[in-house]
A and B are shown apart, each in its own frame.
Chain A
Amino acid sequence: KQEVTQIPAALSVPEGENLVLNCSFTDSAIYNLQWFRQDPGKGLTSLLLIQSSQREQTSGRLNASLDKSSGRSTLYIAASQPGDSATYLCAVEVRYGGATNKLIFGTGTLLAVQP
């Protein structure tokens, strides 16, 4: 059974620091890995999607890597800003039944960037 774990559960850093969020999964049979951001009381915003054949994806100050064989992904945030404060979730896409796939989510890392 696929399980997704995110460590640490919470992280506080001063503004300007570079930081890394970690995600691990137990079964390497995935289609892709996705990173999301969730602001308090809001829905999820898709940040990056890394397909299983890819090693990394970049968007602005964000860089996500994927090592499928070891079951790990990292989200690197450069030059952090207070506006980056949110919960970051990772999810893996896996086969589900005959017609489609589904996402399995980690429980997230709550990031606080102090001004």
Chain B
Amino acid sequence: DVKVTQSSRYLVKRTGEKVFLECVQDMDHENMFWYRQDPGLGLRLIYFSYDVKMKEKGDIPEGYSVSREKKERFSLILESASTNQTSMYLCASSLGAYNQPQHFGDGTRLSIL
């Protein structure tokens, strides 16, 4: 069965800290995605990757960066956390670039104080 694992369910950090969110998939999927989900705004794409070491900006990349050194792992980095980055962060993966369902992890609820 498909499995996408996010390292933390809940995380509390302080403004200015560098924050790492980790995501691992065990399906040998090519594509991986990071979204944030906010009430009234829905899911918004932050970054995605279609291959190892390849990354593309999504709709709201400001304040974030990503790393994909291995196929199974995709990390989201908040360079200097701010309170407006408090949100639910969701990682997803898919087998290919087109017409493939995305499989999601359980999410990380991040609070920046």
Chain A residues in contact with chain B, CB under 8 A? 31-32, 34, 36, 41-46, 49, 51, 89, 91, 93, 97, 99-103, 105-108
Decide if B101 touches A43 in the complex (CB within 8 Å).
Answer: no
- Does chain A have a CB within 8 A of B25? no
By beta carbon, the residue of chain B nearest A95 is B98
Smallest Cβ distance from B74 to chain A, in angstroms? 14
Decide if B50 touches A99 in the complex (CB within 8 Å).
Answer: yes
Contacts of A102 in B (CB 8 A): 45, 48, 58
From known contacts A32-B99, A99-B97, infer whether A105 and B43 are also in contact, taking CB-CB under 8 Å.
yes
From known contacts A102-B45, A107-B42, infer whether A41 and B109 are also in contact, taking CB-CB under 8 Å.
yes
Contacts of B4 in A (CB 8 A): 43
Give me the 3 closest cross-chain CB pairs, A-B, nearest first.
A43-B104, A46-B101, A100-B97
Decide if A103 touches B99 in the complex (CB within 8 Å).
Answer: no
From known contacts A100-B56, A105-B43, infer whether A43 and B106 are also in contact, taking CB-CB under 8 Å.
yes
From known contacts A93-B99, A102-B58, A107-B41, infer whether A42 and B107 are also in contact, taking CB-CB under 8 Å.
yes
- Does chain A have a CB within 8 A of B90? yes
From known contacts A93-B99, A99-B50, infer whether A105 and B42 are also in contact, taking CB-CB under 8 Å.
yes
30 A-B pairs whose Cβ atoms sit less than 8 Å apart in the complex = A31-B98, A31-B99, A32-B99, A34-B101, A34-B102, A41-B107, A41-B109, A42-B107, A43-B4, A43-B90, A43-B92, A43-B106, A44-B102, A49-B99, A89-B42, A89-B43, A91-B43, A99-B97, A100-B31, A100-B48, A100-B50, A100-B56, A100-B97, A102-B45, A103-B43, A105-B42, A105-B43, A107-B40, A107-B41, A108-B42
The prevalent SS among residues of B at the interface is: strand
Contacts of A42 in B (CB 8 A): 106-107
- Does chain A have a CB within 8 A of B103? yes
Among A44, A101, A106, point to the contact of B98 (Cβ < 8 A).
A101
Contacts of A107 in B (CB 8 A): 40-42
